[in-house]
Amino acid sequence: MSDFSELTATLEEFVTRYGAPGNDCVVYHHGKCVYRRQNGFSDAENRVPMSGTERYNIYSCSKLLTCTAALQLLERGLYKLDDELADYMPEFAGMTVADGDTVRPAKRRITIRNLFMMTAGFSYDVTSANLLVAYREIPEMQTRAVMRYLARDPLVFDPGDRWNYSLCHDVLAALVEVLSGQPFETYVRDNITEPLGMHQTTFMLPEEELGTIAPQYVYNVETGTRRRIGAEIWNYKLGPAFASGGAGGSPLPRRAAAAGGPVPGPSGGRRCSGQRCPLRCQLRVPAGHWVPRCCR
């Protein structure tokens, strides 16, 4: 565990070749730190070196916290993996599936195992017709309440048929609320982050702490340039009271709720069509900027 030369070279290449302003990597082995290295800048414009003390939006790394929370509740015997989701969240009992130009009843019900494995049939469309209704009717977008709107959207395939990167772990976070009787962010704080000494990790960062988040950038692969987009989590935090189990380890100021929708991508953003993408990722990316390779 002593030769990290290839890792060091890769981290440096992220900065020198692939446009990342900086990075910070730590490796633990048997509970001990065996490697730590910072490269580049946390604030590229002001040439602030990466120090290892930065605070980031963790986006999909939130999924690790969500699955850990749900697995703790499994260990406590509060559910079984093959239980139907509708047993705990009844709005998911009568799901439908988009089938060409028609909508039909789903062939089977969603199980909790489907949520963990992302095989439930959800998409990652955070601007679906029913979620847009939710933005208008419940602008705070409370985690559990949002699910009642999401359940009205047709699935993109029958539960269990295949894998699709999707909102499954956001639904899993809402399930944690139902099973634990606590807000998701409170359960994670009390049972995971605080016991581990992760005192700065939260799903509900106060607006006054927004300035503690390191700047974010998007990279244009064609021009080799990057654009700073501020500190707010981009696109996947649906509202100020929404603790996104899939991407929400970061703040959203309350003023964003007045817009009646998710935080937009810079320059408005555009949607990956999914037509050439085997994952049907439906990501929103800034106009004129990088699109995931599978969607080109």
Beta bridge partners of 111: 84
Over residues 8-29, the mean pLDDT reads: 92
Is residue 162 scored above 80 in pLDDT? yes
What does each C-alpha distance from 211 to 22, 55, 256 come to in angstroms? 18, 10, 16
- Say if residues 86 and 111 touch (Cβ distance below 8 Å): no
Per-residue confidence (pLDDT) for residue 213, from 0 to 100: 86
Is residue 154 scored above 70 in pLDDT? yes
Is residue 257 scored above 70 in pLDDT? no
Domains in the chain with CATH codes: 1-54 (no CATH), 57-296 (3.40.710.10)
Instruction: Give the DSSP letter string of 68-94.
Output: HHHHHHHHTTS--TTSBGGGT-GGGTT
What does each C-alpha distance from 44 to 6, 47, 48, 226 come to in angstroms? 25, 5, 7, 10
Query: What mean pLDDT, rounded, does the chain reach?
Result: 82
Q: In terms of pTM, does the model score above 0.95?
A: no
The confidence band for 269, taking pLDDT boundaries of 50, 70 and 90, is very low
The confidence band for 34, taking pLDDT boundaries of 50, 70 and 90, is very high
- Say if residues 122 and 92 touch (Cβ distance below 8 Å): no
Is residue 263 scored above 80 in pLDDT? no
Residues contacting residue 183 through CB under 8 Å, at least 6 positions apart: 143, 177, 243
- Say if residues 108 and 92 touch (Cβ distance below 8 Å): no
- Say if residues 191 and 69 touch (Cβ distance below 8 Å): yes
Per-residue confidence (pLDDT) for residue 234, from 0 to 100: 65
The tens digit of pLDDT for each residue in 183-238 reads 999 999 999 999 988 888 888 778 788 888 888 888 888 888 888 887 777 666 77
Q: How far is CA 175 from the centre of its chain?
A: 16
Is residue 36 scored above 90 in pLDDT? yes
Tell me the chain's radius of gyration from C-alpha atoms: 20
The tens digit of pLDDT for each residue in 81-116 reads 999 999 999 999 999 999 999 999 999 999 999 999
